[in-house]
Every structure is written in structure tokens, then in C-alpha cells.
């Protein structure tokens, strides 16, 4: 078991990549704190983990709200005593050229995708610093590195997360904390299904064009990203610090 006795907190773990990662971390021996703001989805993840014999606790918190994230941190620490790994995964999609993005939509995606990495880190890092150990995984995207059409606001958030990851790594390395980023390509989750519906008159044709953009010519699965997250959360990646890890079927070369 690669995460035996570890305590891991995953934001946005009620769906897609977060849910898959929560299940894998629990199967590898971790106690998993499942965060989401959708109670039904969060509880569903916990039920799946418990049905498989694992340990999980759902804590509702909106990752953009300091009071809720602070309370989540305190509740998690009260129950498990520590947090060994934090996966800042929660995020939303954004579609459109920059001039098409309305100011409210711009603020919303900046808040969830960037502040949603800042806040959990802000409240959990001090506890990791005290223990002089911890690992943080930030969810970026391959759009941080490649120009994709009509993804202006989303790309801006994921580029920011990558820059933040490197800065955090430099600051917290002296405290024994590692901070790395995941850069997935297109992974078939509810998030991508919504994106396809909102972006293409013919979502099936849109799906085919996205497949062709990746060298793999297939979309990734949430499990593919979960395995990369497991590597970053475990001691096996102890020499990775501030690194971008691509799980994109070769999208950056497409
Ligand atoms: P998803 O929509 O399936 O899951 C996201 C989860 O985050 C949902 O359960 C949602 O309720 C939760 N969430 C949203 N806002 C929240 C908030 N304010 N506080 C707490 N929870 C919140 O999406 P996914 O595809 O699994 O994506 C997860 C992450 O991976 C996102 O950051 C996304 O940008 C990133 N990503 C996804 C892909 C992809 O192709 N699916 C590719 C690259 C990066």
C-alpha cells in the first residue's frame, strides 16, 4: 500500500478526477477527506470508499470561502490529527475568446480555479510546516503550456496555478514540503461533457476533433490522472519538487 497511514485531503472530490483519486488513495491505505460543495456527490464518493473497506470523511466547503476552508481544515485536523497530502483539484471550465467572457464569469473562474488553490493551501500549509513534512498537488492543465482556441479565462487560471506551484515550492522546500502540478489533457469527466455541450453544435464531432489533437487519439480517463496524483502524493516522487507532470496523451505535441 503506497499511502498506508497517510491522511489526504482532496478538493472537488465528488466527481470526475477528484472522485477517482479519492477512491485510489483510499485503496492504497490513506484516510481521505473528501471535499466538495455538492453534498450528494461528496457523500457518494465516501459511500464508494466505505463499501470498498476504506476510510473517508466528507466535509462540505466552498474552496473560495475563507471561513469554510478554515473550518474544514480544523475539522479534518480534529478527526485525523494531521494532513499529509493536499490535492487542490476543484475547478470549473470556461469557454470563449477573451472579449466574449463576461466580467462575472471571469471573476468566478478566477475565484474557483486560483483562489481555490490559495485558500486550502493557506490554512493547511502551517500545519505541514510545523511537522516539517507534507506534499501538495495543484491541478493545472496542459492549456497552461499550449494555446487552445476559446479557452482564454480557463488557460489564464491554469497558467497561474503552474506559476503558483513553482513559487510555493521554493518557499516551502525548507520546511520539507513538496509542491507539484498535474497537467492533464482532455479527460472524459462531467466537466468535459459540459464543455462539449457548450462549445460545439455537434458535441460528438467536437469529441472526435479533441481526440485527434492528442497523440493518443483517445481521451484520458479519470483513473489515468488519479495514478499520477498517487505518484505525487507518495514518497516515490520524493525527488520531484515544483514539477509539472503531464498526463495528456501527447496533447502538448498535437
Ligand atoms: P468535475 O466537474 O467532474 O469535478 C469537479 C468537482 O469540483 C465537482 O464535484 C464540483 O462540485 C467541485 N467544485 C466545483 N466548485 C467547487 C468549489 N467552489 N468548492 C468545492 N468544490 C467545488 O471536473 P474534473 O474534470 O474532474 O476536473 C477536476 C479538475 O481537473 C479541475 O480543476 C479541472 O480544471 C482539471 N482538469 C480537468 C481536465 C479534464 O479534461 N477533465 C483537464 C485538465 C484539468
Distance of alpha carbon 156 from alpha carbon 214, whole angstroms: 21
Give the residues across from 138 on adjacent strands.
Answer: 88, 181
Helix (H) or strand (E) holding 92: none
Give the residues across from 184 on adjacent strands.
Answer: 247
pLDDT at 120: 99
Q: Whose CA is nearest to atom 2 of ligand 1?
A: 191
CATH 3.40.50.720 fits 7-188+221-245, yes or no: yes
pLDDT at 254: 78
Q: Whose CA is nearest to atom 3 of ligand 1?
A: 16
Distance of alpha carbon 59 from alpha carbon 68, whole angstroms: 10
Q: Whose CA is nearest to atom 41 of ligand 1?
A: 187
Question: ipTM of the assembly?
Answer: 0.99
Distance of alpha carbon 94 from alpha carbon 103, whole angstroms: 12
Ligand 1 atom nearest to 38, measured from its CA: 11
Ligand 1 atom nearest to 184, measured from its CA: 43
Q: Is the pLDDT of residue 132 over 90?
A: yes
246 a catalytic residue: no
Distance of alpha carbon 127 from alpha carbon 40, whole angstroms: 29
Length of the chain: 254
Q: Ligand 1 mean position to 92 CA, how many Å? A: 5
Query: Using one digit for the tens of pLDDT, what is the confidence trace for 137-190?
Result: 999 999 999 999 999 999 999 999 999 999 999 999 999 999 999 999 999 998
Look at 224 and 194; give whichever has higher pLDDT. 224
**Average pLDDT over every residue of 107-133:** 98
- Read off the pTM: 0.98
C-alpha cell at 180: 507539484
Amino acid at each position: 500500500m503506497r499511502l498506508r497511514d497517510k491522511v489526504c485531503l482532496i478538493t472537488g472530490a465528488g466527481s470526475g478526477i477528484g472522485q477517482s483519486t479519492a477512491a485510489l488513495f483510499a485503496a492504497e491505505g490513506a484516510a481521505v477527506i473528501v471535499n466538495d460543495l455538492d453534498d450528494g456527490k461528496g457523500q457518494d464518493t465516501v459511500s464508494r470508499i466505505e463499501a470498498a473497506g476504506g476510510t473517508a470523511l466528507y466535509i462540505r466547503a466552498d474552496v473560495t470561502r475563507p471561513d469554510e476552508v478554515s473550518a474544514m481544515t480544523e475539522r479534518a485536523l480534529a478527526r485525523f490529527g494531521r494532513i499529509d497530502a493536499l490535492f487542490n483539484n476543484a475547478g470549473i471550465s470556461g469557454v470563449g475568446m477573451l472579449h466574449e467572457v463576461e466580467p462575472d464569469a471571469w471573476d468566478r473562474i478566477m475565484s474557483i480555479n486560483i483562489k481555490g488553490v490559495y485558500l486550502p493551501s493557506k490554512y493547511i500549509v502551517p500545519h505541514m510546516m510545523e511537522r516539517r513534512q507534507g506534499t501538495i498537488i495543484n491541478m493545472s492543465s496542459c492549456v497552461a503550456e499550449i494555446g487552445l482556441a476559446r479557452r482564454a479565462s480557463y488557460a489564464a487560471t491554469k497558467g497561474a496555478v503552474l506559476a503558483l506551484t513553482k513559487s510555493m515550492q521554493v518557499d516551502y522546500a525548507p520546511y520539507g514540503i513538496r509542491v507539484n502540478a498535474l497537467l492533464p489533457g482532455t479527460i472524459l469527466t462531467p466537466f468535459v461533457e459540459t464543455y462539449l455541450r457548450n462549445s460545439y453544435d455537434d458535441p460528438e464531432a467536437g469529441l472526435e476533433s479533441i481526440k485527434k489533437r492528442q497523440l493518443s487519439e483517445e481521451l484520458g480517463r479519470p483513473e489515468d490522472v488519479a495514478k499520477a496524483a498517487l505518484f505525487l502524493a507518495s514518497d516515490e516522487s520524493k525527488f520531484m519538487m515544483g514539477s509539472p507532470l503531464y498526463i495528456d496523451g501527447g496533447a502538448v505535441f498535437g
